[in-house]
Chains A and B, each alone.
Chain A
Amino acid sequence: MDTTVPQRFVVPIGPQHPALKEPGHFEFTVDGEQVTGASVRLGYAHRGIEKATEGRNWVQNLYLLERICGICSHVHATAYCLGVEKLAGVTPPPRAQAIRVLVAELERIHSHLLWLGVAAHEAGFDTLFMYSWRDRETVMDILEALTGNRVNYSANLLGGVKFDLTSELTDKIYKGLELLEERTYQYVDVVTSDATLLQRTRGVGVTTREQAEQLGLVGPTARASGVERDIRVEAPYAAYPDFPVKVVTATAGDLEARFVVRLQELFEAYRLIRAVLEKLPPGELQARMPRKIKPAETVSRVEAPRGELFYFIKSNGTDQPERIKVRTPTLCNLASVCVLAVGSQLADVPMILAGVDPCFSCNDRMVTVYSGDTDHTQWTWKQLRQYGIDYYRR
């Protein structure tokens, strides 16, 4: 063997992730411990939803689009409803808009806690995983009491929402928030002071502000690098103009900052939910929607837990859309993984990936490794994760 050529290994990860919920396939080329190249292959969960929308009517599409992603189903439905309402020239009643915000913030809580657990698990910190998922059940209970379902709540209708708040529910939400708030303080404490976790997060996967802008990052990932990009503030939708949001940012841009930003956003969500409950406007829940919509096109953007969600909707005068384009936040953020991973230690890769909170079904989506004719070893995600944990144990 020619020893002058440094031996390069290609480490394929995925598509079957044992711990993550979704399939994804990445391919990393490594030189020793150093990652020298990365590529991504998506499509394991690609179902062809955009095409399917063209064959269904406006109402049916609501249920289809909600199922693009089970974690952030409400934001998909909200983006779609807001867009279609704009096309049809219908204004949903203020109470409906406020309830949309309420559910969106509850969803943000559930999504961030879920992410906290998964990221902790990737770092080998299973205790935090179990704790955060236990507390997540509190918000799941609230969502279930409010909408009747734990996932895919279907709270939106074209022109309004389906559910109303009762005083019993309000009490339940207040109580739940109290508990969550207390727990969140503890999480902030843990992620900023636990020495073993900090070893895996502080200074790892640093994204500077310039990089974040260049890579087109969105959501908490961008905000952790100091980019103040939040659709709720920049282009407030639904009831957000009445319930202004404070953007949470950090400057460090490393994984620790992403933990902190997401946790701080939880406090912001608690505050918003309380504000909505206090000032819930009275009135109707739904406005009448026409069945057919005149030809027009619009862009609808909302802030999903993971970042900006973009919908482009074009109608053609029938009861079916001409074209619906969905751009999910994960697609923006995923490209950054390939860039960030290069030059870092292989052991840090799982954390870097988890740091952007990838959501593959949202994105449709997965990573594969191509093996050149060089030697390559095949690793599963689990092996890599274990490797990361062991590496830091040494």
Chain B
Amino acid sequence: MDTQEALKSAEALLTGYASTRSEENRLDGTLAPENLCAVVSNLVAARWGYLMAITGLDQVTLGQLEILYHFGAGAAILTLRIPLPRIPIPSVDSICPIIPYANVYERELGEMFGVEFRNSPNTDRLFLPDDWRSAVYPLRKDAVLNEE
């Protein structure tokens, strides 16, 4: 499948949601959190690429925290953007029931950004030390990291 075709079929899978071509080989779709699982299931059912990474973006000025799910098929990249309010605790459904290996990415995001993944099979700490202060999320822009 060549890149443009792949992007077209991704666009077709995303009909009904706002999507833009942000770069030549990238398609961005913005979803409400409750639609995430449905869209991901569609992608998996259509065997469109694979989940490459989950990124968090803290946008303090907008008061939102965006979660980006990057899917890749060849050179084509599809990014599902889920904007969430920063406060209180942003939460979204876990996609582990659909893509089991997403768990490590979710765990990482959870501890780094303080995002709650509902129905996640495992939310243990992955990277941060055991004695890390709770409710301090290092990758948030306003995290207070200097010690005592």
> Is there contact, CB below 8 Å, between B139 and A50?
yes
**Chain A residues closer than 8 Å to B70, beta-carbon distance:** 299, 310, 312
Contact with B along A361-385 (1 / 0, CB 8 A): 0001100000000000000000000
Whether B38 sits at the interface, judged by CB under 8 Å, is no
> Is there contact, CB below 8 Å, between B57 and A314?
yes
Main secondary structure of the interface of B (DSSP, over half): mixed
Given the known interface contacts A41-B126, A43-B128, A234-B75, the answer about A215 and B101 at a Cβ–Cβ threshold of 8 Å is: yes
Given the known interface contacts A42-B127, A43-B129, A314-B57, the answer about A216 and B25 at a Cβ–Cβ threshold of 8 Å is: no
The listed residue (A215, A216, A308, A364) touching B127 by CB distance below 8 A is A364
How distant is the Cα of A323 from the Cα of B56 in the complex, in angstroms? 9
> Is there contact, CB below 8 Å, between A216 and B74?
no
**Chain B residues closer than 8 Å to A48, beta-carbon distance:** 138
By CB atoms of chain B within 10 A, which of A325, A364, A365 has the most?
A: A325
Residue of A nearest to B26 (CB): A299
**Chain A residues closer than 8 Å to B129, beta-carbon distance:** 43, 46
Contact with B along A3-47 (1 / 0, CB 8 A): 000000000000000000000000000000000000101110010
> Is there contact, CB below 8 Å, between B68 and A214?
no
**Chain B residues closer than 8 Å to A141, beta-carbon distance:** none
How distant is the Cα of A234 from the Cα of B103 in the complex, in angstroms? 26
Whether B55 sits at the interface, judged by CB under 8 Å, is yes
How distant is the Cα of A319 from the Cα of B105 in the complex, in angstroms? 29
Contact with B along A304-345 (1 / 0, CB 8 A): 000010101010000000010101000110111000000000
> Is there contact, CB below 8 Å, between B51 and A216?
yes
How distant is the Cα of A393 from the Cα of B19 in the complex, in angstroms? 60
> Is there contact, CB below 8 Å, between B101 and A325?
no
Whether B85 sits at the interface, judged by CB under 8 Å, is no
> Is there contact, CB below 8 Å, between B126 and A216?
no
Min CB distance A232 to B, Å, is: 11
**Chain B residues closer than 8 Å to A42, beta-carbon distance:** 126-127
Give residues of chain A (241-284) contacting chain B, Cβ–Cβ below 8 Å. Answer: none
Main secondary structure of the interface of A (DSSP, over half): mixed
Min CB distance A10 to B, Å, is: 16
Min CB distance A176 to B, Å, is: 33
How distant is the Cα of A42 from the Cα of B79 in the complex, in angstroms? 27
How distant is the Cα of A97 from the Cα of B34 in the complex, in angstroms? 44
The listed residue (B55, B58, B101, B108) touching A216 by CB distance below 8 A is B101
> Is there contact, CB below 8 Å, between B52 and A327?
yes
The listed residue (A43, A235, A336) touching B25 by CB distance below 8 A is A235
> Is there contact, CB below 8 Å, between A214 and B72?
no
Range class of the B interface residue count:
35 or more
Given the known interface contacts A216-B51, A323-B57, A331-B104, the answer about A235 and B127 at a Cβ–Cβ threshold of 8 Å is: no
> Is there contact, CB below 8 Å, between A301 and B72?
yes
How distant is the Cα of A297 from the Cα of B15 in the complex, in angstroms? 24
Whether A51 sits at the interface, judged by CB under 8 Å, is yes
Min CB distance A50 to B, Å, is: 6
Whether B97 sits at the interface, judged by CB under 8 Å, is no
Residue of B nearest to A222 (CB): B50
Whether B118 sits at the interface, judged by CB under 8 Å, is no
Residue of B nearest to A237 (CB): B75
Whether B77 sits at the interface, judged by CB under 8 Å, is yes
How distant is the Cα of A312 from the Cα of B66 in the complex, in angstroms? 14
**Chain A residues closer than 8 Å to B52, beta-carbon distance:** 301, 308, 310, 327
How distant is the Cα of A365 from the Cα of B107 in the complex, in angstroms? 14
Contact with A along B1-44 (1 / 0, CB 8 A): 00100000000000000000011011000000000000000000
**Chain B residues closer than 8 Å to A235, beta-carbon distance:** 3, 25, 74-75
How distant is the Cα of A213 from the Cα of B100 in the complex, in angstroms? 11
Min CB distance A3 to B, Å, is: 32
> Is there contact, CB below 8 Å, between B100 and A214?
yes
The listed residue (B3, B72, B100, B126) touching A43 by CB distance below 8 A is B126
Give residues of chain B (117-146) contacting chain A, Cβ–Cβ below 8 Å. Answer: 124-129, 138-139, 141, 143, 145
9 smallest CB-CB distances across A and B, nearest first, come from: A235-B75, A327-B53, A43-B127, A325-B55, A46-B127, A216-B101, A234-B74, A312-B55, A310-B53
Q: Which residues of B pack against A, CB within 8 Å?
A: 3, 22-23, 25-26, 50-53, 55-58, 68, 70, 72, 74-75, 77, 79, 99-101, 103-105, 108, 112, 124-129, 138-139, 141, 143, 145
- 11 of the cross-chain contacts (CB-CB < 8 Å) are A43-B129, A46-B127, A54-B141, A235-B3, A235-B74, A299-B77, A310-B52, A312-B70, A331-B105, A336-B101, A364-B127
